[in-house]
Amino acid sequence: MAVVSPSVTLLPAEASITNAEALRIRNDFPILGAEVNGRPLVYLDSGATSQNPLSVLEAEQEFYEQRNAAVHRGAHTLAVEATDAYEAARAAVAGFINARPDELVWTSNATEAINLVAYAMSNSSVGRGGAEAERFRVGPGDTIVVTEMEHHANLIPWQELAARTGAELRFLPVDDDGALRLEDAAGVITPATKIVAFTHASNVLGTINPVADLVRLAREVGALTLLDACQSVPHLPVDVKALDVDFLVLSGHKMLGPTGIGALYGRSELLNAMPPFLTGGSMITTVTMERAEYLPAPNRFEAGTQRISQAIALGAAANYLSETGMHRIEAWESELGARLVEGLSAIEGIRVLGPRAGLPRIGLAAFDVAGVHAHDVGQFLDEQGIAVRVGHHCAQPLHRRLGLTATTRASTYLYNTTDEVDFFLEAVGGVRPFFGAR
C-alpha cells in the first residue's frame, strides 16, 4: 500500500511564491516557530540542511507506527505494505527528476553515491562486462576531470581513484567572479578523459554551471558525466533527461527530507554494467559456496537492510516540493537571493563571492567581513537568532583560489521571507562596528 503524503499548503500554479504565501508555508514547518537565544529563529542555513515539513515528519512516524517491517523479504501484510511504500517513494523521487524508478539507487547520502561510481571505475573488471563496462576502465594515461569549485565530496573520491589507478586528476578553473573558465575546457577535457564530474550549483558561489556545454564537451570525447545536484535539486526544476547526464547525485536532507538518505541516478545500461559497491543479502539472485549472481539495478546496489523510513520520508518531501511547484520555488529564491546579494554588497567591508549581477545563481550568498573572522560573524548572528554557515563549506581549494580561509554563508529556501532577509542584513551591518573592525 503506497503512502500518500499529507496535504501541503497549495499555492497558485502560475505565480512565484509571494512573501505572504511564504509566511503560510512556514506553518508546515514546526521548527520555524522556535526561539534561539530569546529571539525568533531566522533560519538561513538550508544550504547545509533544510527543515522538515509536517508531511515528512508524519510519513516517517507513520511507517514505524503502522507498517514497520523489512522490505523485499516477507509475505506478511506489514512486509508487503512496507515494500510498497518504499518503492512508491523511489518512484516519487525518480519522477521528481524525470527518471525511471529502476534508474534511482538509494544511498546513505550523496557522498556515498559519488563513491559508488568512483568505486565502479576502479573495479570495472568485476562488472558484467560488455561495451558499457569498458567505459569504466581507468588506468595510466587516462584523466579524470572535476572543477575548482567542487565540494570535497565530489573531489576526494576522484583524488583516490586517480591514486589507485594511475590516472591523472585535472580540473577546470574558475575566474575571479566565480564562473567556470570554459575557454580552458577544450584543453582539459580530451580523448583521454574518462569522466567529467562537476557541480550543478556551487554551495559557496551560488554559480549555476552550464551543464549543456560541459556534457557536450564530454560526449565529444566519449567521457562519462556525473552531476552533483545537491544544491540544485532542492531549489530549481531538474530533469535528468533534458540535462543528458550519465549520473546525478542528490541529498535528502537538503530537499526537506530526513538525514541518512540520498540517491544516485544513473542510466540503466550504465548501472547494470557496474560492479556492486556493497555485497551481502538482498542484492543477489543465486548464491553458492563459490560465487554469487547479482540482481539488476537498482537492487544490486542496495545490500542489507535499507533506510526504509528515511526513503519513505524523502518520497514525502519530493511530493511536497512537487505540489508547491519547483518553478515557483526557484523564482522566490531568486528574489530572496538577489535581495541578499544586493544588500550585502551595499555594506562597507563586505566582499560577496559569486557571479556578477545578471549571471544565474541560486539563492545563497557567501561573504567575507573585513577584519572579522567568519566564526565570530556566525556567533554574533546567532546571538540574534540567525542561523548561518561559517567555515570553508567543505570547499577548501575554492576558498584558497579566492584568497580566503573561511566565509559566512546565508542560504534561503521556500520558507524564508523578505523580512528575515532584511533582519539578517541589518544584523550583518552591525558586525564590524561591534568588533571594532577597520
- Contact between 46 and 255 (Cβ < 8 Å): no
C-alpha cell at 422: 532584511
Distance CA 256, CA 316 (A): 9
Three-state DSSP class for residue 126:
helix
Which positions ≥6 away from 237 have C-beta within 8 Å? 326, 327, 330
Q: Known catalytic residue: 230?
A: no
Q: Residue 114 has which C-alpha cell?
A: 559519488
Per annotation, catalytic residue among 394, 396, 397, 401: 394
Distance (Å, rounded) from C-alpha 80 to C-alpha 55?
Answer: 22
Please provide the DSSP assignment of 280-323 as one string.
STTSEEEE-SS-EEEPPTTGGG--SS--HHHHHHHHHHHHHHHH
User: Contact 333/276 with Cβ under 8 angstroms?
Assistant: no
Q: How far is it, in rounded angstroms, from Cα 136 to Cα 159?
A: 16
Half-sphere exposure of 154 (CA within 13 A, CB side): 33
Q: Would you say 308 and 86 are in contact if contact means Cβ atoms under 8 Å apart?
A: yes
Residue 264 phi/psi, 5-degree rounding, is -115, 120
Contact 42, 34 (CB under 8 A): no
Residues forming the active site: 394
